[in-house]
Amino acid sequence: MPNSEAKYAAFRPQRILLVKLRHHGDMVLTTPVINRLREHYPDAEIDVLLYKETRPILSEHPALSYIHVIDRTWKKQGVRYQLQQEYQLLKAVRERHYDLVINLADQWRSALISRFSGAKVRLGFDYKKRRSAFWRAGHTQLVTTENHSLLHTVEQNMSILSPLGISTDNAVTSMHYSESDKSFCQQLLLKNQVSGEYIVIQPTSRWTFKCWDDDKFANVIDGLAETGLTIVMTSGPDKKELNMVRKIQDLTHNPQVISVAGQLSLTQLAAMIDGAKLFIGVDSAPMHMAAALNTPCVALFGPTKMQHWRPWGNNNTTIWAGDYAPLPAPDSIDTKTQQRYLHAIPVSDVIDAARSYLHD
């Protein structure tokens, strides 16, 4: 877009707002946009608007000045309360006097927030499902999504920068945590008598259909006993996830296994993964965190669009259940199902992938 690039050549925004309203993993995959904006506009203040529960993913990012949040529990407290909160949010956004809004979200409210920000330049995506005067009015320029089906989510996100003449190549994800997160993990490891190198295994996802069999994870843990490395098992605080970790632990014969499942915040989990020799897990936010921290990662995938969601970077191996048996189409999955679609992945292939990193 040469005309567009020329148009923004002298553009030097002082304040930038990035909008993304999605899940934890998606927030990790917005970090390349933040990192590139920081490189290109080193003096600008960069703010983010996100869902409250995903805030920890970006809370320690050094490039960010302020984080606006939308709390999805507002609506549970009645229409009046929700409207008050939405109004306060619009007011807070407007008071920041943004020069540039980059809207990576696809919700109608994101177009409204973009429009009311008062920013001179407001970039959004030309989503097919959002082709309307309202969506157009929210943005000063819409970026094509025609080739998005062929791109990784990182590449999709980065494409929004092209009208500004900012390079979208060599995108790098990042995950940040504090010194106190690091020392908390060190204390926890010491408490569990872990002093040497360790492997983090997070077998859980909030979606059961993305999970592997408990006994197979247990077999992998047993197969890694010969490495002499402690296995540190992690999960979210959800009861279902805690039960899964407990069951896997009960099935293992490897004496060097500890569980810190449900005991870590997201930034503490990042510190734990960053200190690990290897991460093994399923398609989940911690997997994206491991890739962003450049911790060697073995990721197990089922009927997910791997093109979009595989771990980003070069220090990982993706093992896809579809290489071993037929899988249903990702869009046909009932996400509430208790069925696990990774069943066909053989234990030996996961152990081999893990060993390939441990022997380097």
Question: What pLDDT does 147 receive?
Answer: 96
Q: What is the DSSP string of 334-360?
A: -TT----TTTTS-HHHHHHHHHHHHT-
- Please give the full DSSP string across 179-208, using - where no structure is assigned: HHHHHHHHHHHHHTT--S-EEEEE---SSG
Task: Give the long-range contacts of residues 48-53, CB within 8 A, separation 24 or more.
Answer: 48/17, 48/18, 48/19, 48/20, 49/17, 49/18, 49/19, 49/20, 49/21, 49/93, 49/110, 49/113, 50/19, 50/20, 50/21, 51/21, 51/22, 53/24
CA distance linking residue 163 with residue 31, whole number of Å: 19
Sheet arrangement for strand 45-51: 64-70, 45-51, 15-19, 100-103, 121-125, 141-143
Which pLDDT value is given to residue 360?
Answer: 57
Contacts of 114 (CB under 8 A, 6+ apart): 19, 101, 103, 122, 124, 138, 139
Rounded Cα–Cα distance for residues 259 and 272 (Å): 12
Q: Which of 195, 173, 171, 219 is nearest to 275 (CA)?
A: 195
**Integer Cα distance of 213 and 218 in angstroms:** 9
Provide the token pair at 102.
Answer: 């980059």
Planar angle of CA 261, 225, 278, nearest 5 degrees: 55
List all residues 6 or more positions away from 276 whose beta carbon is below 8 Å from its beta carbon: 197, 198, 199, 200, 232, 290, 295
- The per-residue pLDDT for 11 is 92
pLDDT value, residue 1: 44
Query: In this predicted structure, what is the pLDDT of residue 3?
Result: 60
DSSP assignment, residue 117?
T
Q: Which amino acid is at 257?
A: V
pLDDT tens-place values along the chain, 360 residues long: 446 666 887 899 999 999 999 999 999 999 999 999 999 999 999 999 999 999 999 999 999 999 999 999 999 999 999 999 999 999 999 999 999 999 999 999 999 999 999 999 999 999 999 999 999 999 999 999 999 999 999 999 999 999 999 999 999 999 999 999 999 999 999 999 999 999 999 999 999 999 999 999 999 999 999 999 999 999 999 999 999 999 999 999 999 999 999 999 999 999 999 999 999 999 999 999 999 999 999 999 999 999 999 999 999 999 999 999 999 999 999 999 999 999 999 999 999 999 999 975
pTM equals 0.96
Residue 193: CB atoms within 10 Å: 9
Rg (CA), the chain: 22
pLDDT at 4: 61
Phi-psi region of 313 (alpha: psi -120 to 50; beta: other; left: phi over 0): left
**305 with 322: CB under 8 angstroms?**
no
Matching residue, tokens 């997997």: 287
- Give the C-alpha separation, 100 to 168, whole Å: 18
